Amino acid sequence: MELELLRTYDPMGTNGKILLQGRRISYGIELPWKNNLAQVSCIPEGRYELEKRWSPAFLRHLQVMDVKDRDYILIHPANDALHELKGCIAPVSFLTGPGTGTGSRAAFKKLTALVFAVLDQRKPVFLTIKKDT
Judged on CB neighbours under 10 Å (0-12, 13-18, 19+), 19 is middle
Per the structure, the complete domain to which residue 53 belongs is given by: 2-131
What CATH number should be reported for the domain holding residue 86?
2.40.440
- Look at residue 57 in the predicted model and tell me its pLDDT: 87
pLDDT in tens, 4-58: 999 999 999 999 999 999 999 999 999 999 999 999 999 999 999 999 999 998 8
pTM listed for this prediction: 0.96
Banded model confidence at residue 131, pLDDT cuts 50, 70, 90:
very high
- Look at residue 28 in the predicted model and tell me its pLDDT: 98
* Structural domain total, the chain: 1
